Structure 1
Amino acid sequence: MEPAEYASAAAEFLPLIPAEEYPHMNALAERVIAGTHNGVADFDFGLELILDGLERLRGA
């Protein structure tokens, strides 16, 4: 898949990822759309994503 295809798919799904509910996934989608996410895993971002998900599960 080409970068433009990733950006197009992210733009299509962005309305389904509200920033208030999924701040990290929304931010990632915004970066993909802007072309600033190069696909290299960012440890801090991934860790925050996992911790956010665990915190939500604990609160449920």
Structure 2
Amino acid sequence: MSLAEANKNLKWDTRMTEAKVNSGELKKDELQKHLEQLPDLAHNVEKFTIDGKPASSDESH
């Protein structure tokens, strides 16, 4: 893979977007539009606790 291809693949990498916006390589409105187009995958979340046991939704803290 060339460096140009690797850079293209990293365009939306969350570790890189702030730096790209700050450098002007990526516009804030372009980033916002991309984020709004992402699907909502909240239904795929699996909650867990530090000890590895499944978290109960009715647990009180």
TM-score normalised by structure 2 residue count: 0.30
Structure showing greater Rg: 2
Larger % of helix: which? 1
